[in-house]
Amino acid sequence: MRNLPAKLIPAVKTAYAAMLLLVVLTAAASAEAPGFVGSQSCVSCHQQQASAWSQSHHSWALKLPSPQTMLGDFNDARFEHKGLSSRFFQKNGRYFVETDGPYGKAAVFEIKYAIGVAPLQQYLVELDGGRLQALDIAWDTTARRWFHLYPNDDVRAGNGLHWSGPYKNWQARCAVCHQTDFHKNFAPRPPGYNSQWSELSVGCEACHGPAEAHLAWAALAAGKVSTDPSKFSGVDAHGWQHPAATGKQAIEANMCGPCHSRRQALGPDSSPPQAPFGNHYALSTLEDRLYFPDGQQRDEVYVLGSFMQSKMFQKGVTCTNCHDPHSGQLVAAGNAVCTQCHNETGRAEFPSLKRKVFDAPSHHHHTPGTKGAECVSCHMPERNYMVVDGRRDHFFRVPDPLLSQKAGSPDACLSCHTGQKAAWAADAIKQWAPQRVSSTLAYGETLASARRDGLDGKMIEKLAAIARDASQPAIARATAVREMADQADGATAAALAPLLADNSELVREAAIRLWRSTSPAERVNRLQPLLGDPSASVRVAAALELANVPPGDLPVAQRTVLEAALTEMKAAMTANSDFPEGQLAIGGLALTTRNWDAARAAFAEAVLMDPQLVDAWLMRARIADALGDAAEATSILTSAFARNPGDSRIAMDLAAQLGRQRRDAAAVPILREAVAAHPGDQEVRIALAASLLRAGDLAAAQAEIDSLRTVSPNRAEVLVLAAMRQVLAGDLTGARATVKTISGLYPSLQLPPQLEALSRLP
């Protein structure tokens, strides 16, 4: 049993990420804290700002239904998707949809709210327990048509992505960024919501903070009878709460970042405006499902993580340099938003700017007035989300076709010149700028290689070099640490110990995971100081890693701090138990503290909420296997694969389980299905080749090995498979040669016994 956590490391890794959905330690609100008064209270004094805001996306974040706010066609309009028909209509001045309900049967639902204004509008309906759910049929405000958010998928009832499921729940997923001062108020038993908010949409106070004290100051300044502004705590001379940060960029990162980022919330409600980002959220790093290896946006990442990689961010550029904070529009049209800084005279606040003419063919080498001559076409490539919502990448980078090719990411040049190759684009750029230095953002190629070829000692050192390089963006350094964290040994952790005191909370938080494989005593010694870190995201991460340390191993003072943090954490888990990741968090902490029954119950609840939540299925199976119930583990994985056909991770775990039962032949068709679904996934192809070898099908195994070697000829696992195939085929001479190659490339690699014996032969 003592070895159980080691067997569960891949599962714990996922649970760790989900656990960061926990709440932060926050001080109780003072009785004298100013309250929210609503945007209408601001208009009389701030008419220009209010007018700009009134037509902004913030103002349209959530609206009650009316002829002015309902942009979709509700005149008995019909929409078909994957054999399911939906109808949108009005009755007695109210708006309705007839569509497939939570149990797969057609039903009529009243539209309670409209979300957004352009380029699409979505609609909320209410289900039992006060659940507000966003329909997955939306209105395209440009083309004026209904469309499905998953046009190529059949997401009927029972699928986690169905509109009635947990991922379309407004209170859990959306409200904190679409409403002002939102409080979720979720009750788990029976499950339901009693949510409250101060303003329906994103109003003035969502950014500026509660304005009660400011109104009192304004009234007093105008000589009117007013509440005494001095009764309010924590406000400045004008009645505004003090921002937590200093400097324009830091203040705006705290103000805008919580909603314009891909992050994990540490609590269920809206965070206080301008509060420190890290006290309420943990920013996602450049993980593979969210970003391409070179840092380009892949999934919806909402700007901040991209912007933090840019040279502009490093030089102090901030949101309102380009965006009007009230209208949300750009401060100038077209290239002018860029040339306000990038011009022949520069800009005083950014003295390092290169002074030259940029908006000219001598720089962009395209015909003026065309798309190719627009700054954003090359430096902010666009990617569509929600089918019709094109969003520009805020990493502001010079195109590097060869780096994009190595990283497997899109290239701005080839997105227009679709018939050309990376070498052609790189040659054109070289002709335009012969002295141009290649990108200094080396992490793209390294992350691509690590994810493609796996980690060995050399790759871990490359990642460590990025992590130590303070000239690299903090989010990239933290990503490098996360890539190696679960495979880092004690020596690597010790070499990177200074990262625990890094200036970036992102790096400090990521570095905590390096100590997972070290002894409890060493972990306590290194991590217990971080229980008092200024950033809650760091404190929570440290508490999670120390959760399974016996209390007696901690100093008394730190024991009390840890216990308090864990108590808050458990309370937060309950608050976030209304969506699958919350259940992953509950199960993850139970796993860490070896409460197996609680862990199994939480992961079972997670897959009940979302049958496509692969991580929860894997956790359930690994716990069963670790507790000695191989039959239960096999049954769980078989059910998981049936609900998630072709999933590579389930297939590999199920194949491994069958292999331990000497049923490799049964694993082969499962792995073949996964390879067919994910032909570029080397891990599952490696598993298939191994199962074929154990099943005795040497010819089929050779075909898979050949395929693997065309992509990664020197990958350790692939070479080992090739040598094993040679041994099984009786080609000992060839096997010895392959083993020699392996030993030369990976001298510390532990070989299987058959190959180890060959390596010792003269």
Query: Residues 141-155: pLDDT tens digits?
Result: 999 999 999 999 999
Work out the pLDDT band at 24, boundaries 50, 70, 90: very low
Cα torsion through 305, 308, 310, 312, rounded to 10 = 130
- The answer to whether 201 touches 61, Cβ cutoff 8 Å, is yes
Cα Rg of the chain, angstroms: 28
Instruction: Give the separation between CA 752 and CA 79, rounded to whole angstroms.
Output: 59
Structure tokens at 245: 């940060």
Report the distance separating Cα 501 and Cα 529, nearest Å.
Answer: 10
Predicted local distance difference test score (pLDDT) of residue 164: 96
Which range among 11-25, 272-286, 625-639, 651-665 shows the weakest confidence by mean pLDDT? 11-25
Question: In the 8-state DSSP scheme, what is residue 682?
Answer: H
Residue 542 CB neighbours (<10 A): 28
Weakest-pLDDT range from 12-16, 34-38, 615-619 = 12-16
Q: 129-138, 216-225, 340-349, 553-562: lowest mean pLDDT where?
A: 553-562
pLDDT of residue 29: 38
Contact indicator for 669, 646 with CB cutoff of 8 Å: no
Q: Which residue carries 């990239």 as its tokens?
A: 476
Pick the closest to residue 258 from 175, 177, 171, 170 (CA basis).
177
Q: How far apart are CA 493 and CA 499, in angstroms?
A: 9
Residues sharing a CB contact under 8 Å with residue 624, sequence separation 6 or more, in sequence order: 600, 630, 632, 633, 636
449 closest CA partner among 626, 250, 239, 711: 711
Q: What is the mean pLDDT of residues 719-743?
A: 94
At 539-594, the pLDDT tens digits run 989 988 898 888 778 888 888 888 877 776 776 677 778 889 889 989 998 998 88
Give the Cα separation of 751 and 720 in Å (integer). Answer: 8
What is the C-alpha separation between 427 and 612, in angstroms, rounded? 45
630-659: b or e for each residue (b if 16 or more CB lie within 10 Å)? eebbbebbebbbebbebbbbbbbbbbbbbb
d(CA 199, CA 38): 6
| Closest C-alpha among 268, 246, 254 to residue 208 | 254
What's the whole-number mean pLDDT along residues 383-395? 97
**191-193 and 186-188: which strand pairing?**
antiparallel
CB 125 within 8 A of CB 97: yes
**518-523 own/partner pairs: CB under 8 Å, 24+ apart:** 518/490, 518/493, 519/490, 520/549, 520/550, 520/553, 521/553, 522/490, 523/549
The 3 state secondary structure assigned to 488-535 is CCHHHHHHCHHHHHCCCHHHHHHHHHHHCCCCHHHHHHHHHHHHHCCC
Taking every pair of Cα atoms in the chain, the longest distance, rounded to a whole number of angstroms, is 99
Q: Could you tell me the two tokens for 42?
A: 């601001």
Cβ neighbour number for residue 744 with a 10 Å cutoff: 9
> Tokens at residue 289, please?
């499902």
Label the pairing between strands 137-140 and 281-283. unpaired
pLDDT mean over 332-357: 96
Whether the ω angle into residue 119 lies within 30 degrees of 0, i.e. cis, is yes
Please give the torsion angle defined by the CA atoms of residues 305, 306, 310 and 315, in that order, rounded to the nearest 10 degrees.
-50
Other beta carbons less than 10 A from residue 428's beta carbon = 15
Both tokens of 689, joined, read 């080749």
DSSP state at residue 21? T
- pLDDT score for 440: 61
Is 438's pLDDT higher than 70? no
Q: What is the pLDDT of residue 592?
A: 85
Euclidean distance between the first and the last CA atom of the chain, given in angstroms as a whole number: 42
**What is the predicted pLDDT for the residue at 391?**
97
Q: How far is CA 670 from CA 254, 643, 647, 676, 684, in A?
A: 47, 13, 9, 10, 10
* pTM, full prediction: 0.85
In this prediction, residue 306 carries a pLDDT of: 98
pLDDT band at 439 (very low <50, low <70, confident <90, very high): low
Q: Which long-range contacts (CB under 8 A, 24 or more apart) does 250-255 make?
A: 252/318, 252/319, 252/320, 253/277, 253/304, 253/318, 255/207
What distances in angstroms separate CA 499 from CA 480, 526, 527, 607, one per listed residue? 12, 11, 12, 36
Torsion sign (Cα): 490, 495, 496, 497: positive
Residues 6+ apart with CB under 8 A from 86: 78, 79, 80, 97, 98, 99, 100, 137, 146
pLDDT for residue 234 is more than 60: yes
